[in-house]
Amino acid sequence: MIFSLNLLKKFVDLKDISLEELLHKLTFSGLEVEGVDHIAKGKGLVIGEIIEVNNHPDSSHLHILKVDEGKKGIKQIVCGANNVREHLKVIVADEGALIGKDDVKIIKSTIRGVESFGMCCSLLELGVDKSLLSEKQCNGIEELDDDAPVGEENVLEYLGLDDVLIEINILANRSDCLSIYSLAKEIGALFNRKVNIENCYVESTEKASYRVSSLSDNCRQFALRVVSGIKVGKSPKWLINALRSQGIRSINNIVDIGNYVMLLTGRPLHMYDLDKIKSREFVVRDDLTCNFKALDEKDYALEKGDLIVTDGENPLCLGGIMGGLSCTIDENSTHIGIECATFLSARVRKTSARIGLSSDSSSRFVKGIHPSNENETLHLTSYLLKEYASAKDFEEIVDYDVRNFEQSKIECTYSYINHRLGTSITNEKMDEVFLSLGIRIERIDEDKFIAYPPAQRIDLKCDADLSEEIFRIIGLNEIHPTLPITPMTLGGLSDFQHKKRVLREHLVSLGLSETLTYTLVSEEESNVCDLLTSTCTCYKVLNPMTVEHYYVRKALLPSLFKVVGYNKAHQRNDVAIFEVSSIETKEENFTSLGIVLNGMKKERGLMKQRAYDFYDISGILESILSILGINKSRIKILPLKDSEYFHPGRSGKFLLNNKLIGVYGELHPKYASQMDLQNTYALELNLSALLNLKTSNLKMNEISKYPFVTRDYAFTIKKDVSFAEIETKLKRQSSNLIKSVDVFDVYEGEHIAKGYKSVAIRITYVSNDHTLKEQEINEAETNALKVIASLGAELRK
C-alpha cells in the first residue's frame, strides 16, 4: 500500500528524522518499503500571473505571454496551451528549472523566431499521475486560484504536492497497518515519538429512529448513525490533496470523507441516502437469491450465502463489497445513514471472487479489519461531516453486536523470549518495547507476565507472537550467530537416495545430459508412450492455467521426446538425454527414469560417428543393472512385441515378479515418423522397483588358480532362438565347469537357410580346484553340444 508522508506526519511527529532513516527502520521492523516516489517534482518553480497574451505571428496555436513573476520580474514565455488568458495565475518553470520525475531541464529557447524564457506547466508535466487529474488538467496548463500568491517559489508546498509516497508491502499478519492511524502508532513505537490522534466525539442530537440487525453468523456487528442536514459539495483543498496523495480522486465532500475515514481508521464505511429507503430497518441477510444493481451500474446475481444489507426484504448493499445504485448518495442527499459493520473476511472473499467484483472496502475486509473501533470511526465521520458538509443533526448510534469480543491476553515469560531468540535481553528493555507498542504488561513474578495487546493488533495471539515483537523492534541487533547444540545426528542420503544419485551420475558420465521437464502436461501427452502405467489413471487439475499443463503426467518419455523435438528444431540433431522424476497416478507412485537417444553418437567428432542403435540403449540398461548388483536372472527380459510405440523386433520389456517395470528399444517407425523422431531409442524404467530390490552383500569370491580352456563352436539355429536362451540353457543345464559363454559372431544370409542364422560362441571351461584334464573337457563339451542341439542347433563343420 502507498502512504503519503504528509498525511502520516499529521499524526506522528517525524521532525529531524531523515527519509532514509524512516525507510530503513520500516523495512527492518517488518514493514518492507518497496518503493519511494514523489507525487510531483519541480525545482525552480514560481507562481506567476499572465499579464499579456498575444498570438504568435508564425503559428496558429502558439501564444506569446508576458508573465509577472513578482520579485523575479516579467518574463516572455511562448506557450502552446489553449487555456491561457490574461490574469490567469499559473505555475512557471523558469530557465534552469528541473521538472517532472525525469528532472527535465528548462532552457531558454527560440520558438519560431520568438524567444521564450521559461514554461507554463501542467500538473502532468510536474509528474502527477494522470489518473489523479481531470481531462481539463491533462490538456492544458494548471489554472491556479485567483488568490494564489504571485512570486511564491514554494509552489509544490502551496499546491500540497510536496509529498513523498512510500510504498510498503504490508504482510498478511499486519492488516492493521493498512490504516494511517495504526501505521502512525507503529512509527511512533519505532522512533519512540509522540502520536497525535485526537478522539473525535460528536454528541447525539436525536434519538435513534432506525433499527439494525443481522440474520447471518457471518455478520455479527452492524452499527449505523443517521446524520441529517448535510450539503453535498466540493471537498476542502486539504482533503483533496490528502486523498490525491493516497491515489484517490476527489468526488464530493461526502464520498471523500468516507474514503478519508477509511484511510485513517482502516474501517470501510458505507453511506445510504435514507430518503431513498422506505423502511426504517436495516437487516443483514445471507439467505437471498436475487439480482442486485451495484454502484457501478452493473447487475450481479447474488446467491445464498452472500451477505446482503437489506431494508428487511430488498437488497441495499452487497455487504463489505459495494453499495446498491438504488440508495446511493447524490448531490441532493441530505439525510444519510453511515454504516460501520464487520463482515466476515472469508465470506467477503468468496462472494467477491465469485462475482468478480472487488473494491477497496472488500479487500480490507478480506485482509482483516480493526475489531472494535466502530464507535470512534462513526464519531470521526460525524465530526468531518459536521465540519465540511454542514451536518446538523446526529442520531444516537445504533449497534447490533453479538460478538464475544474479548481482549486478547497472552501469558508469557521473559526467559521464553530470550530462549526462543537466542538472546539475553533484559526484562526492562522488553518492557520498553511492549510499552511503545501499546502492549500492556502485567507482571506475575520475576519472569512471568501477562500481555494485553491493543485491539487493532489482531495478529498477537500467543507467546511466540510476543517474541516476534521483541525480535523486530530490537532483536535484530541482539542476535548473534550460533550453531545448534543437539545430540549428534547421523546425516546422509538414504540407501535409495544414494543409489539414485549414483545412477544419475553414472548416466552423466556415459555422456548423457540430464533434463528437467514439467510435471503437468497436455491431454494429448498424458496418455501416450505410457507402457509402465497404461492401467493407471492420471490426476487432472481442476483449475489449469493452460491446456498445455493440465494433467499430472504418468510417463517421462513423452516429455523427453518433446525435448528432442525442441533441440532438433534448433539444429541440435544428436541428443542423448535422461531424467529421473517421480510419477504419481491415482493407483501408484514411483520414481521413474527415462532415457532417449537420437541421432548420431560422435565417437570421434565428425571423423567417426555412428547412429545410435539398439545395443546402446540395452547397454545402458545392463550397466544400470550391474551397478545396482541386480543379477539378470532375477528379471525376466522379453521381446516387446505388441506396442504401437516400439519397434516390434527391436524392443524389450522386463518384468520383476511378473510386474512390468521397464521398456526399452527403438521407437516404432510409424510412431517415430508421426513424432518426427526417426532413429530414436528410448527407455523408461520404474527405478523404485529396482532400487528397493534387496541385493546380496558384496563378498569376495575365490579366484581360480588353475588355467582355463576355451573352445569355439559355430552352429546354425532357428532365427528366433535368442542368444540369452542359449546362454541360460548352457549355464543351467550343462556342465558346471562352464565359466562363461560368449558370442562372437552372428550371421544371416548367403549359405544359411532362410529362417536360420549362424552363431559362433566361445565357451570357457575352468575348475576352481584342479587343472582340467582333456577327458573332462571333452565330456563337458559333449554335454554342452547336446544342450545346444536340444535347441535345434546344427554344428557347422
**The C-alpha cell of 312 is what?**
428487511
- Is residue 469 classed as helix, strand or coil in its secondary structure? helix
CB of 783 to another protein, least distance (A): 42
Q: Compute CA distances 500 → 230, 580, 663, whole Å.
A: 76, 8, 19
> In whole angstroms, how close is the CB of 423 to another protein at the nearest point?
7
Work out which of 199, 291, 543, 658 binds another protein, going by CB under 8 A.
543
Question: Does residue 67 bind another protein (CB under 8 A)?
Answer: no
CA dihedral sign, ordered 381, 387, 388, 390: positive
Q: Is 349 in the site for another protein (CB under 8 A)?
A: yes
Q: Contact between 563 and another protein (CB under 8 A)?
A: yes
Phi-psi region of 58 (alpha: psi -120 to 50; beta: other; left: phi over 0): alpha
The grid coordinates of residue 309 equal 444489507
Of residues 259 and 680, the one with the C-beta less far from another protein = 680
131 alpha carbon, distance to own chain's centre: 28
Among 71, 207, 570, 699, binds another protein (CB under 8 A): 570
* Residue 604 within binding range of another protein, rule CB under 8 A: yes
Please report the beta strands in 311-425, taking only residues with DSSP state E, as ranges in sequence order.
315-318, 322-323, 335-343, 393-394, 398-401, 410-413
Nearer to another protein, 301 or 541 (CB): 541
Shortest distance (Å) from residue 544 CB to another protein: 7
Q: By CB neighbour count within 10 A (0-12 exposed, 13-18 middle, 19+ buried), where does 561 fall?
A: buried
Residue 582 or 733: which CB sits closer to another protein?
582
Which one, 107 or 502, has the nearer CB to another protein? Answer: 502
Considering the rule CB under 8 A, would residue 587 count as an interface residue with another protein? no
Contacting range for another protein; rule: CB under 8 A; set: 9-17, 69-77, 516-524, 629-637: 516-524
Long-range contacts of the stretch 73-76 (C-beta < 8 A, 24+): 75/48, 75/117, 75/118, 76/114, 76/115, 76/116, 76/117
The reply to whether 304 sits near another protein by the rule CB under 8 A is: no
598-624 CB burial, b ≥16 within 10 A, e <16: bbeeeeeeeeeeeebebebbbebbeeb
The answer to whether 320 and 361 have CB atoms below 8 angstroms apart is yes
Output the smallest distance, CB 660 to another protein, in A.
22
Shortest distance (Å) from residue 597 CB to another protein: 11
**By CB under 8 A, which span of 234-242, 499-507, 737-745, 783-791 interacts with another protein?**
499-507
Distance set, CA 669 to CA 269, 578, 665, 674, 692 (Å) = 70, 21, 12, 8, 35
Q: Does 484 bind another protein (CB under 8 A)?
A: yes
Selected binder of another protein within 577, 677, 761, 784 (CB under 8 A): 577
Is residue 509 involved in binding another protein (CB under 8 A)?
yes
Q: Which stretch binds another protein (CB under 8 A): 398-406, 433-441, 475-483, 767-775?
A: 475-483
DSSP bridge pairs for 686: 592
- Per CB under 8 A, the segment of 61-69, 195-203, 387-395, 483-491 that binds another protein is 483-491
C-alpha cell at 400: 447490533
In contact, 308 and 294? CB cutoff 8 Å: no
356 binds another protein, rule: CB under 8 A: no
Query: Nearest CA to 784 among 717, 736, 744?
Result: 736
Residues 448, 415 contacting (CB under 8 angstroms): no
| Minimum CB distance to another protein, residue 494 (Å) | 7
623 binds another protein (CB under 8 A): no
Contacts with another protein in 156-185 (CB under 8 A)? 171-174
Contact window for another protein (CB under 8 A) among 38-46, 481-489, 525-533, 611-619: 481-489
Instruction: Give DSSP secondary structure letters for 498-519.
Output: HHHHHHHHHHHHTT-EE----S
CA distance 184 to 576: 62
Residue 610 interacts with another protein (CB under 8 A): yes or no: no
With a CB cutoff of 8 Å and minimum separation 6, the contacts of 443 are 449
Compare residues 23 and 240 and give the one whose CB is closer to another protein.
23
Length of the chain: 797
The 255-274 contact track toward another protein, x by CB under 8 A, reads --------------------
Q: Which of 154, 589, 692, 782 binds another protein (CB under 8 A)?
A: 589
Among 60, 332, 489, 633, the residue binding another protein under the rule CB under 8 A is 489
Q: Is 572 one of the binding residues for another protein (CB under 8 A)?
A: yes
By CB under 8 A, residue 346 contacts another protein = yes
Shortest Å, Cβ 98 to another protein: 22
CB 58, min distance to another protein, A: 47
Residues in contact with another protein, counted by CB under 8 A, come to a total of 92
CA distance 385 to 391: 5
**Segment (H or E) for 566:** helix 557-569
What's 81-117 look like in SS3? CCCCCCCCEEEEEEEEEEECCCCEECCCEEECCEEEC
User: What does the DSSP assignment read for 617-669?
Assistant: HHHHHHHHHHHHT--GGGSEEEE--S-SSEEEEEEEEEEETTEEEEEEEEEPH
Question: Is residue 493 near another protein by the rule CB under 8 A?
Answer: yes
Q: Which of 48, 160, 475, 652 binds another protein (CB under 8 A)?
A: 475
CB-nearer residue toward another protein: 143 or 176: 176
What Cα–Cα distance (Å) separates residue 132 from each residue in 5, 422, 517, 572, 649? 18, 49, 46, 54, 74
Return the residues of window 363-382 that contact another protein according to CB under 8 A: 366-367
As measured in angstroms, the least distance from the Cβ of 172 to another protein is 6
| Cβ nearer to another protein, comparing 67 with 507 | 507
Site string for another protein, 716-735 (x = CB under 8 A): --------------------
Torsion angles phi and psi, residue 104, rounded to 5: -70, 130
Q: How far is the CB of 127 from another protein (least distance, A)?
A: 21
Enter the C-alpha cell of residue 130.
494522470
Rule CB under 8 A: say whether 772 interacts with another protein. Answer: no
Binds another protein (CB under 8 A): choice among 13, 32, 401, 432: 32
Closest separation between CB of residue 188 and another protein, Å?
18
Q: What letter represents residue 180's amino acid?
A: I
- Residue 582 is a binding residue for another protein (CB under 8 A): yes
Sign of the CA dihedral running 329, 334, 337, 339: positive
Candidates 22-30, 254-262, 373-381, 778-786 — which segment interacts with another protein by CB under 8 A?
22-30
Q: Smallest distance from the beta carbon of 477 to another protein, in angstroms?
A: 11
Choose, by CB under 8 A, the member of 512, 667, 690, 737 that binds another protein. 512
Should residue 700 be labelled a site residue for another protein when binding is judged by CB under 8 A?
A: no
CA distances to 184, 282, 304, 755 from 285, rounded to whole Å, are 36, 10, 9, 86
Give me the least distance between CB of 443 and another protein, in Å please: 21
In the complex with another protein, which residue's Cβ is closer, 540 or 641? 540
Strands 219-228 and 270-273 turn out to be unpaired
- Which letter does DSSP use for residue 395 in this model? B
Residue 435 contacts another protein per CB under 8 A: no
Identify whether the C-beta of residue 463 lies closer than 8 Å to the C-beta of residue 411: yes
Q: Which of 110, 146, 428, 606 binds another protein (CB under 8 A)?
A: 606
Nearer to another protein, 89 or 174 (CB): 174
Residue 537 is a binding residue for another protein (CB under 8 A): no
Only one of the segments 83-91, 221-229, 517-525, 693-701 lies at the binding site for another protein (rule: CB under 8 A); that segment is 517-525
